[in-house]
Amino acid sequence: MTSALISAAKSNREPFPVPEGTLQGLSIDNLIFGLHGSELKVLLIKHGEGIREGEWALPGGWIKQNEDLREAASRLLRDLTGISHPYLEQLKAFGKVDRYPAERVVTITYYALISADQYPLVAGFSASDASWVSAFDTPALVFDHKEILTYGIQLLQHQVRHKPIGFNLLPEKFTLLQLQELYEAILNIKLDKPNFRRKFMKMNLLTPCNEKQKGVAHRAANLYRFDKDNYSNLTEQGFSFEV
Amino acid sequence: MTSALISAAKSNREPFPVPEGTLQGLSIDNLIFGLHGSELKVLLIKHGEGIREGEWALPGGWIKQNEDLREAASRLLRDLTGISHPYLEQLKAFGKVDRYPAERVVTITYYALISADQYPLVAGFSASDASWVSAFDTPALVFDHKEILTYGIQLLQHQVRHKPIGFNLLPEKFTLLQLQELYEAILNIKLDKPNFRRKFMKMNLLTPCNEKQKGVAHRAANLYRFDKDNYSNLTEQGFSFEV
DNA sequence: CAGCTTGTGGTCAAAACGACAATAAGGCTA
DNA sequence: TAGCCTTATTGTCGTTTTGACCACAAGCTG
């Protein structure tokens, strides 16, 4: 990332001036989730200049005249993390009259799920610019960003039980225990290992890699990958994912 | 509804001029669902003047400077139907660059569920202005409204299975068969009567009214109402609604 | 009254769930 | 190398839920 981009991203949440060639009164904010160890984290930006210096915010920015909403969210995510094809879905538009200082700004929020191996470190940004924070225990956030986060977590908790999106938080190859810990982290629950395993295996959504975990000080687990194609087949037949 | 309001609503989807005192480049569109008999319907507006004359569209309008997004959606719904406290949730923001002619307009869509007894007839509008159309079989719609409808139906089908929102489509007091037919209509499936009944009763979400159906040419069924308070209690205890 | 339609309760086998015991497979350490 | 420790994986079993279907009840209609 060029330093111009970094500087743009750093100041992208500052009230004014809004860059030329972008839509007025409309912004994008991204809720970027990651799973670190077995903790659900969210990527926050610390404002480096201006009035909001030192405060934490969701990464966001403005929408260009000639780009779709999703494109804008995707571009902002890419500029920040370098990730080009994330799992990215619209969360909600937030538009309370006074949510943003000085001017009426409606923000359209997206949430992204990225896996730790796609984005092991905060590249381009120093640790003081951006950092992963426990999603359930963040510092105070600017504007209505806390409300956005709370809403996003609730949606994530709901979605993860009803759609197979959790895989996006894992590396391509993963063990069943990793998958289980993902659910435990997001939903704040404890699950029974043998039962969880059977339930998932019966869905026929996991393809064994015929490979084992490496570098662990105990019996190595089998690695699996999410079988997207079979998921498409199954959903066409009326299959519904539920955990 | 005054004729001024009617006229405003009639022309509210015409490209320009946009009324003074509203946000630029941002509109609201409402997806209003109703259950008529046992068919899922959606409320559409036929454009009465201008270029789009005769074409069907979702009812919508512009957002005032001093009103929240939800307020705007709620006001537009109220002006159209007279209903003040509908079930109303944000659907999604649609913002493709060319979705709207001549100018970039992002629209934030809401979906409402209203019961036939709240809105038995199209009041204020003549039948040629607004009408209930089968949600699964509509005429062609302007702009990207068909896409919005498709997305809305999918969300409704998902939500209705995972949250007790279906009740909003029924009158306050309803029979179990009405409830079952609601699910059959929205999900396009057939359900077993005794099993459906037991499943629902076990959830403890229905309070018997100790009243029976009237005016039917067969054995009268018991009437129930949705127990919102108990639903709150149960969800706090980790209860999750699934049909 | 017989006949029709819908409501409501019962049954039963199959499947799913949940708790927990038992065994397998590795690496580690003495 | 022999145990020890940790995690993976399989098995078992009683309970609950599901789904298909039968039977009877209740009320209106002719």
Q: Which nucleotide is nearest to A176 (CA to C1')?
A: D8
CB A15, CB A65: distance < 8 Å:
no
Among B25, B90, B104, the residue with its CB nearest the CB of A92 is: B90
Determine whether the interchain pair B158/A158 forms a contact, defined as Cβ–Cβ distance below 8 Å: no
Determine whether the interchain pair B106/A158 forms a contact, defined as Cβ–Cβ distance below 8 Å: no
Higher-confidence position of B124 and B166: B166
Asked if the model's pLDDT at residue B50 lies above 70, the reply is no
Mean pLDDT lowest among A7-16, B98-107, B149-158, B216-225: A7-16
Asked if the model's pLDDT at residue A101 lies above 80, the reply is yes
Determine whether the interchain pair A68/B93 forms a contact, defined as Cβ–Cβ distance below 8 Å: no
Q: What angle do CA A177, A88, A40 make, to 5 degrees?
A: 40
Q: Going by C-beta distance under 8 Å and a sequence separation of 6 or more, which residues neighbour residue B125?
A: B6, B9, B45, B80
CA of B233 to C1' of C14 (A): 33
CA of A212 to C1' of C29 (A): 24
Those residues of chain A whose CB sits closer than 8 Å to some CB in chain B are: 23-26, 63, 65-69, 90, 92-97, 104, 106, 108, 158, 162, 242
Answer for A211: CB within 7 Å of strand C.
no
Higher-confidence position of B69 and B119: B69
Which ranges of chain A does DSSP label H, i.e. alpha helix? 3-10, 69-81, 145-162, 176-187, 193-202, 228-236
Residues, chain B = 243
Q: Which of residues 179-198 of B touch strand D (CB under 7 A)?
A: 192, 194-195
What band does A18 get if pLDDT is binned at 50, 70 and 90?
low
Residue A127: what pLDDT?
46
Mean pLDDT score, B71-87: 94
Which ranges of chain B does DSSP label H, i.e. alpha helix? 3-11, 69-81, 145-162, 176-187, 193-202, 228-236
Asked if the model's pLDDT at residue A83 lies above 50, the reply is yes
Q: What is the pTM of this model?
A: 0.91
What band does B129 get if pLDDT is binned at 50, 70 and 90?
confident
What band does B51 get if pLDDT is binned at 50, 70 and 90?
low
Mean pLDDT score, A182-194: 96
Which residue type occupies B8?
A
Mean pLDDT lowest among A106-115, A120-129, B184-193, B218-227: A120-129
Chain B residues within an 8 Å CB radius of A63: 95
- What's the mean per-residue pLDDT of chain A? 88
What does the pLDDT look like over B158-182, one tens digit per residue? 999 999 999 999 999 999 999 999 9
Q: What is the full DSSP assignment across B8-44? A: HHHHTTSSSPPPTTEEEEEEEEEEEEEEETTEEEEEE
Residue B6: what pLDDT?
40
Q: Which nucleotide is nearest to A242 (CA to C1')?
A: C16
Mean pLDDT lowest among A166-170, A172-176, B35-39, B205-209: B35-39
Residue A240: what pLDDT?
86
Question: Strands A130-134, A39-46: parallel, antiparallel or unpaired by DSSP?
Answer: antiparallel
Answer for B214: CB within 7 Å of strand C.
no
Most B CBs within 10 A among A22, A64, A69, hence the mutation to make, goes to A69
Q: Tokens 């007790």 sit at which residue?
A: B164
Q: Which nucleotide is nearest to A217 (CA to C1')?
A: C27
Alpha carbon of A57: minimum distance to chain B alpha carbons (Å)? 22
For the ranges A5-19, A33-47, B157-171, the maximum mean pLDDT occurs at B157-171
Instruction: Assign residue A218 a region (left: φ > 0; alpha: ψ between -120 and 50; beta: otherwise).
Output: beta
Chain B residues within an 8 Å CB radius of A104: 23, 65
Among A24, A68, A242, the residue with its CB nearest the CB of B96 is: A68
**φ, ψ for residue B194 (rounded to 5)?**
-60, -40
Mean pLDDT score, B198-219: 92
